[in-house]
Structure 1
Amino acid sequence: MKMMNISDALNVIKAHQAKIPVQVIDLANELGLKVYEVPNWPDDLSGMVRKNVEATGGFDIFVNQTHAETRRRFTIAHEIAHVVLHPHLIGDGITDDALLRSGLSNDVEAQANRLAADILMPREALNSRLKMGINSVYVLATEFKVSDQAMAIRLGVAQ
């Protein structure tokens, strides 16, 4: 499958954000990405994206099966972000450690983290809940299926 351009990919992401929590595996699949959970990875390895050798121009995402669901979801969103934003940098693959650092530049990783947060915690959906008076980090994190820490960072209240 040929990779779609960034505009088309962002439209697919937006469509998936209509329902919270965002179903990241369904999103990845619609973007032409297969997601595999890996059972025996060391704990300090979170995820990886690499070219699919069978599919011309396609990519596969691998995620550490032993990590918490919220962590796996963020890792998948982070790897989706690499495919959308940096397909030219993936080469033979990008492996991210538990802090989602890959050896790519800090700017590239920060971009992937920002898009991952945007995917999982879309501003529009978050703002609508804040306007309704729902402002508990825990409640919002639970609804969006992200970690308390990710939600706190998104809300700008990280300690």
Structure 2
Amino acid sequence: MTLTYPEQLEVIQKHQASAPVQTVALADDLGLKVWHVPNWPDDLSGKIVKSADQGGPSGYAIYVNKGHHVNRRRFTTAHEIAHFILHRQFIGDGLVDDGLYRSRLSNSMEAQANKLAADILMPRNLLNQHIANGVTSVARLAEIFQVSESAMSIRVGAPN
């Protein structure tokens, strides 16, 4: 299963009809299998690997630290989806992201993955709808979108 970049964006948009975006369902529709791994060190957030055995139809699997808060797991899943979409040619045996979302990729590639993860989890159109309906509290928006208050603060340009 190989979707083109425009097809991948269509799949993402389909999952952005309401908040919170369901990251595991999105990964499934992109052909990725997500595994929540218990007993990982706290500084290991997730990784994406090419795996014929454990990957989905795309041949890639995402592993996420089950011990992390649900909001962290969601961001990690979105971040690894972003690596799949943007940097698949660099995945090879796997990209491991630690607690600071650092892998062997360049800082610019990590920044790209973080930006796309934020775009996936906090789509501007949904965010603007909630704000237009009077939801302006960063804490409340973070709750609705199931992201950290820090991530939401960055997204809406509010001071932390």
Aligned residue for 2:80? Answer: 79
1:71-127: per-residue Cα shift (whole Å, max 9, x none)? Answer: 000000000000011110111100000011112101100000000000000000001
Distance (Å, rounded) in 2 between the aligned partners of 1:71 and 1:156: 20
Distance (Å, rounded) in 2 between the aligned partners of 1:37 and 1:57: 18
How far off is 1:29 after superposition? 0.4
TM-score, normalization by structure 1? 0.95
**Runs of 4+ residues over 4 Å off in structure 1:** none
**Cα RMSD (Å):** 1.2
5+ residue gaps, structure 2, are none
How far off is 1:18 after superposition? 0.4
Q: Does 1:131 align with 2:122?
A: no
Q: How many pairs does the alignment contain?
A: 158
Percent of aligned pairs sharing the same letter: 54
Q: Does 1:150 align with 2:151?
A: yes
Amino acid at match of 2:158: V
Question: Is residue 149–residue 158 contact of structure 1 (8 Å, CA) maintained in 2?
Answer: no
Distance (Å, rounded) in 2 between the aligned partners of 1:120 and 1:78: 10
TM-score, normalization by structure 2? 0.95
5+ residue gaps, structure 1, are none
